[in-house]
Amino acid sequence: MNVLHMKYALEVARSGSINKAAETLLIAQPNLSRAIKELEGSLGITIFERTTRGMTPTPEGEAFLNYAANIQKQIDEVENIYKGSFVQKQRFSVCVPRATYISEGFANFTQKIGSDPVEIFYRETNASNTIKNVLSSEYKLGIVRYASHFDKYFKSMFTDKGLEYELISEFRFMLVMSRRSPLAELDEIHFTDLEKYIEIAHADPYVPFMSMAEVRREELPDNIRRRIFVFERGSQFDLLTDNEETFMWVSPLTDKMLERYDLVEKPCADNDKLYRDVLIHRNDHNLSKLEKLFITEVCMSKRKYL
């Protein structure tokens, strides 16, 4: 197997296109295509299939690319060592749901990492991306959020994919709205009270073995006529603060966050759905000292707010 061709395959997978990869690698497109074919021939597998979306890895190709990424990382480290520019750094990476108790635990964690060189990667995203990133080893830890009645689907998928999992927290969503919102003045809030307001929601629900349409019907019921879909935490809090017609379902917020954005948090009398935040990592991964510290800080934050 040609190691250079392996590097080419990783770039094709990253860009999703032979043409884009050729531009990045500064080689001719026919030469790159030929190199990929030679690599596939030497391995006896098809790494990519051409689709309308570009170059998509086959199941065998995904497995090869996972190995290739780890090999390339080791090659890069060896080169850095012998070029004399290598500084041994700790690396911490985690994908998490958009949750204030987790972000507070993360902030507390960063205050205890010490003075040694370290690179930290913290990404807020949905369950699907978290699982994908942990499986590829791009991120070592993940926290996945889902409704508890989907537990069997997620646990089955975790087991099939070779992922270890552990419950971090279980809770009911709360309603959050501006302190000036008419909803904040109600002694008790019911589903019907929400119908005339604007829901701020995340547009990326995910449950394994279920279609997106099924999941959206479950997680985004049609009794709400107006929704704003957001992907970034900062904008959702600005919307809640500035628009008194908006509300959002959240895991319990910290007092500091409520005060910062002048928000009120209230339960919904009709809501009995439980959600779970579950820690995942590959079953061949041993938790590092930094990872254990992060988990400890998140669990401490959870105990304060959940």
pLDDT per residue as tens digits for the range 197-247: 999 988 666 777 667 667 666 677 778 889 998 877 668 889 999 999 999
**Residue 284 pLDDT:** 93
Q: Which residues contact 31 (CB under 8 A, 6 or more apart)?
A: 22
Dihedral sign from CA coordinates of 36, 38, 43, 46: positive
Pairing of strands 198-202, 174-178: unpaired
Average pLDDT score over the chain: 89
Query: Do the Cβ atoms of 198 and 243 come closer than 8 Å?
Result: yes
* φ, ψ of residue 57 in degrees (nearest 5): -65, 140
Going by pLDDT thresholds of 50, 70 and 90, the confidence category of residue 3 is confident
The SS3 call for residue 155 is helix
The SS3 call for residue 271 is coil
**pLDDT exceeds cutoff 90 at 172:** yes
CA atoms of 23 and 184, how far apart (whole Å): 55
Query: Do the Cβ atoms of 47 and 32 come closer than 8 Å?
Result: no
Going by pLDDT thresholds of 50, 70 and 90, the confidence category of residue 180 is very high
Helix count and strand count (H, E) for the chain: 11, 12
**pLDDT exceeds cutoff 60 at 50:** yes
The DSSP 8-state label assigned to residue 21 in this structure reads: H
Q: What is the mean pLDDT of residues 32-60?
A: 89
**pLDDT exceeds cutoff 90 at 96:** yes
The SS3 call for residue 207 is coil
**Residue 231 pLDDT:** 75
Q: Which residues contact 221 (CB under 8 A, 6 or more apart)?
A: none
Structure tokens at 219: 């997680």
234 burial via Cβ count (<10 Å: 0-12, 13-18, 19+): exposed
Query: Do the Cβ atoms of 90 and 50 come closer than 8 Å?
Result: no
Taking Cα atoms as reference points, which of 156, 225, 229 lies closest to residue 195?
A: 225
For each of the domains in the chain, give its residue range(s) and CATH number, in order of start.
Answer: 3-83 (1.10.10.10), 90-170+276-305 (3.40.190.10), 174-272 (3.40.190.10)
Helix (H) or strand (E) segment spanning residue 250 = strand 246-250
Q: What is the mean pLDDT of residues 49-62?
A: 87
Taking Cα atoms as reference points, which of 89, 154, 153 lies closest to residue 143?
A: 154
**Residue 246 pLDDT:** 96
Taking Cα atoms as reference points, which of 208, 210, 71, 91 lies closest to residue 140?
A: 91
Structure tokens at 232: 């970034």
CA atoms of 142 and 130, how far apart (whole Å): 6
Query: Do the Cβ atoms of 168 and 94 come closer than 8 Å?
Result: no
Q: What is the mean pLDDT of residues 247-269?
A: 93
The DSSP 8-state label assigned to residue 286 in this structure reads: P
**pLDDT exceeds cutoff 60 at 85:** no
Q: What is the mean pLDDT of residues 164-186?
A: 95
**pLDDT exceeds cutoff 60 at 21:** yes
**Minimum mean pLDDT range among 70-79, 90-99, 211-220, 239-248:** 211-220
Going by pLDDT thresholds of 50, 70 and 90, the confidence category of residue 52 is confident
**Residue 215 pLDDT:** 67
Residue showing tokens 């090999």: 71
Taking Cα atoms as reference points, which of 31, 28, 51 lies closest to residue 39?
A: 31
Give me the percent of the chain exceeding a pLDDT of 90. 61
Taking Cα atoms as reference points, which of 285, 301, 278, 304 lies closest to residue 97?
A: 278
Q: What is the mean pLDDT of residues 120-125?
A: 94
**Residue 295 pLDDT:** 97
**pLDDT exceeds cutoff 70 at 86:** no
**Residue 75 pLDDT:** 86
**Minimum mean pLDDT range among 6-20, 206-220, 244-258, 288-302:** 206-220
**pLDDT exceeds cutoff 80 at 57:** yes
